[in-house]
A and B are shown apart, each in its own frame.
Chain A
Amino acid sequence: MSETAVLYDHPGPRALRRARLASVVGAVVVLAVVAGVFARFYQRGHFDGVKWEPFSDPDTWRAIGDGLVNTLRAAALAIVLSMVTGVLLAVGRLSDRRVLRLPAVTVVEFFRAVPLLMLIFFFFLASPNTLGSYGALVAGLTLYNGAVIAEIFRAGILAVPAGQREAAHAIGLRPSQTMSLVLVPQAVRSMLPALISQTVVVLKDTSLGYIVVYPELVRIGRQIYDNFFNIIPSIIVVTVIYVSMNMLLSWVAHRLERRTRRQYGKAVLSADVDTGAAV
């Protein structure tokens, strides 16, 4: 954080004292707020043994495990399918031929503008026979993330140095060959961190399965507190699981970005693609 260090002078003795005082005050304030929240929860009985007891029951953890598996299942399939969709859409968008480009652009823009929740709900109602809640969730996730990944792919391919495309043209490769033999392989490496970040988004978005009653992790958490009336402990547990999972993935993405950047310089897409578009 060397840039931010220039925001304030190297502290002299008075500033040091002031900063230390501010630190103490700040620490006290933060701790007070945290303690206050805990105290209030304690007062309302949320730390009572009986509310946490279900979590000593292996059945409860089995249910949570099922929820986690369902989340990962939906996310995994959606990620794979959306990669395929994303590549196809990106190639379409980058095509020279308008008959390929226009539909691709329309599809991408449509699925980026419509809330994911609506998509999932629509798929569920439109074809409950064939899709069911798992299918509807995966379909929605695939199309939405496919569109986002299409944009990532497009940026990745555009980030490949122009000279590569020119050289390929010079040795007589057709546009499709240029794409598949020269550009895509190079683009993939630079897109990797962004793609991993996108998996975090997909994982979070599986929670939208609640609208079609898909038994993913958040829903299981709700079932637990519906049954045992232990809202606070349940959502604490679910939040911890999600946050750890996602933090791990983000960390991997950022490590990868830094390492790739060291090797390939600027032609690496930032891993910070998560603009918060949960839906």
Chain B
Amino acid sequence: MSIRHMRSLAIAATLALALTACGGDDAAVEVEKDAKFPAGSTMAELNEAGSIKVGVKFDQPGIGAKKPGADAPEGFDIEMAKIIAAKLGIEPDKIEWVETVSANREPFLGNGTVDIVLASYSITDERRTVVGQAGPYYVTGQQLLTSKDDDSIKGPEDLEGKKVCSVEGSTSIKTVEEEYGAAPAPFATYSECVQQLLSGSVDAVTTDGAILLGYAAQNPDELQVVGEAFSEERYGVGYAKDDTEMCEFLNETLTESFEDDSWLSAFDETLGKSGSEAPEPPTVDPCP
């Protein structure tokens, strides 16, 4: 990226920072008014269009969840997407939110249904052969959600023979079954798993800690996240493969958000409601 470009970006960032500081506690992200991007880059196109299609989850509270009948989803991924869109000069209400479930994240990027994906999208080498993933912007790992009345499960070691719920076909359920001897109980969505946990039909729910925190935030009196993370999941922003300029733009935006507290605000507004402290922001991977 040229010096001139970096300077204008720095000015823009400072402006954004200053405006955010005056923005009050609404964490309303200030939209770039004079964003300049290299001609022909994806960012320039999006800036021209004034709108962006973002793939998110609609069914993960705290991360990406849309109430039935609501206009837009809410959650940590949504807030981060707003930050990125703002850097592109796009208003939050001009963002088109597309529901992406785990299986269609890559295809949607591939065929242009979405421009970027923020959907609890773990960075893996395999995925990086098919799409681009910038970040991470959040590091979590597989953890367990249990009932506050149940003290018997403090970590994955205690899962032998216990009924553990996760989503049909997810990697989490495989891990607890094969490595910790749990009895798998797959359901269609995490919310249903939580229902089963609340009604006592399963002993624990397992998936990324970030997702579990969202549920714990909804039921702080009845549910708790226990144990250390026993895998590592690094959430990244998905973008069309080989778009190096986009990768650098995303990394810049993310790193700025770590430094200027917008990342922290995003966390506190969403996942932080569970009572958990925000972790240290991660360091982004270099672009390929």
Q: Which A residues are within 8 Å of any B CB, using their own CB?
A: 57-64, 124-125, 128-129, 132-133, 210-213, 215, 220, 222-227, 231
Chain A neighbourhood of B70, CB < 8 A? 59
Asked, given contacts A59-B70, A129-B111, A231-B195, whether A223 binds B59 with beta carbons under 8 Å apart, the answer is: yes
Binding site of A, secondary structure by majority: helix, strand, loop or mixed?
helix
Say whether B103 contacts A125, CB under 8 Å: yes
20 additional contacts (CB under 8 A) given A124-B103, A129-B111, A133-B101: A59-B70, A63-B68, A63-B69, A125-B103, A128-B104, A129-B110, A132-B104, A133-B104, A211-B188, A215-B99, A222-B188, A222-B191, A222-B192, A223-B58, A223-B59, A226-B59, A226-B191, A226-B192, A226-B195, A227-B65
Say whether A129 contacts B107, CB under 8 Å: yes
Which of A60, A211, A213 is the one whose CB lies under 8 Å from B69? Answer: A60
Asked, given contacts A129-B111, A210-B188, A211-B188, whether A224 binds B68 with beta carbons under 8 Å apart, the answer is: yes
CA distance A220 to B59 in the complex (A): 11
Q: Which residue of B lies closest to A67 (CB)?
A: B68
Expressed in whole angstroms, the minimum distance between the Cβ of B98 and any Cβ of chain A is 11
> Contact mask B75-116 → A, CB, 8 Å, 1/0?
000000000000000000000000101011011001100000
Q: Which residue of A lies closest to B70 (CB)?
A: A59
Most buried by A among B70, B104, B168, B192: B104
CA distance A60 to B101 in the complex (A): 22
Asked, given contacts A63-B68, A128-B104, A129-B110, whether A211 binds B195 with beta carbons under 8 Å apart, the answer is: no
Most buried by A among B68, B107, B110: B68
Q: Which residue of B lies closest to A225 (CB)?
A: B195
Chain A neighbourhood of B192, CB < 8 A? 222, 226
Give 9 pairs: A residue, B residue, CB < 8 Å, sorted on A.
A58-B69, A61-B69, A63-B68, A63-B69, A64-B68, A128-B103, A132-B104, A133-B101, A224-B68
CA distance A64 to B191 in the complex (A): 18
Expressed in whole angstroms, the minimum distance between the Cβ of A24 and any Cβ of chain B is 37
Say whether A226 contacts B104, CB under 8 Å: no
Say whether A220 contacts B101, CB under 8 Å: no
Asked, given contacts A128-B103, A132-B104, A222-B192, whether A59 binds B111 with beta carbons under 8 Å apart, the answer is: no
Interface size on B, residues (CB 8 A): 21
Q: Is residue B148 within 8 Å, beta carbon to beta carbon, of the partner chain?
A: no
Say whether B191 contacts A211, CB under 8 Å: no
> Contact mask B59-78 → A, CB, 8 Å, 1/0?
10000010111100000000
Expressed in whole angstroms, the minimum distance between the Cβ of A7 and any Cβ of chain B is 43
Say whether B101 contacts A213, CB under 8 Å: yes
Q: Is residue B276 within 8 Å, beta carbon to beta carbon, of the partner chain?
A: no
Say whether A226 contacts B189, CB under 8 Å: yes
CA distance A65 to B99 in the complex (A): 18
Asked, given contacts A129-B111, A211-B188, A222-B192, whether A227 binds B103 with beta carbons under 8 Å apart, the answer is: no
Most buried by B among A63, A129, A212, A226: A226
CA distance A58 to B70 in the complex (A): 11
Expressed in whole angstroms, the minimum distance between the Cβ of B181 and any Cβ of chain A is 27
Say whether B107 contacts A128, CB under 8 Å: yes
> Contact mask B201-225 → A, CB, 8 Å, 1/0?
0000000000000000000000000
Chain B neighbourhood of A210, CB < 8 A? 188
Expressed in whole angstroms, the minimum distance between the Cβ of B238 and any Cβ of chain A is 14
CA distance A62 to B104 in the complex (A): 26
Expressed in whole angstroms, the minimum distance between the Cβ of B244 and any Cβ of chain A is 24
Say whether A223 contacts B104, CB under 8 Å: no
Expressed in whole angstroms, the minimum distance between the Cβ of A221 and any Cβ of chain B is 9
Q: Top 9 A-B pairs ranked by shortest CB distance?
A: A59-B69, A63-B68, A226-B191, A128-B107, A63-B69, A129-B107, A213-B101, A223-B68, A62-B69
Asked, given contacts A128-B103, A129-B110, whether A220 binds B68 with beta carbons under 8 Å apart, the answer is: yes
CB contacts under 8 Å to A, within B142-185, are 168
Say whether A227 contacts B68, CB under 8 Å: yes
CA distance A211 to B188 in the complex (A): 7
Q: Which residue of A lies closest to B58 (CB)?
A: A223
Chain A neighbourhood of B101, CB < 8 A? 133, 212-213
CA distance A133 to B58 in the complex (A): 15
Q: Which residue of B lies closest to A132 (CB)?
A: B104
CA distance A63 to B58 in the complex (A): 14
Chain B neighbourhood of A128, CB < 8 A? 103-104, 106-107
Chain B neighbourhood of A132, CB < 8 A? 104, 107
Expressed in whole angstroms, the minimum distance between the Cβ of A139 and any Cβ of chain B is 15
Most buried by B among A62, A129, A231: A129
Asked, given contacts A63-B68, A63-B69, A227-B67, whether A222 binds B189 with beta carbons under 8 Å apart, the answer is: yes
CA distance A62 to B101 in the complex (A): 22
CA distance A60 to B66 in the complex (A): 12
Chain B neighbourhood of A129, CB < 8 A? 107, 110-111
CA distance A133 to B107 in the complex (A): 12
Expressed in whole angstroms, the minimum distance between the Cβ of B211 and any Cβ of chain A is 13
Expressed in whole angstroms, the minimum distance between the Cβ of A124 and any Cβ of chain B is 7
Chain A neighbourhood of B188, CB < 8 A? 210-211, 222
Say whether B168 contacts A211, CB under 8 Å: yes
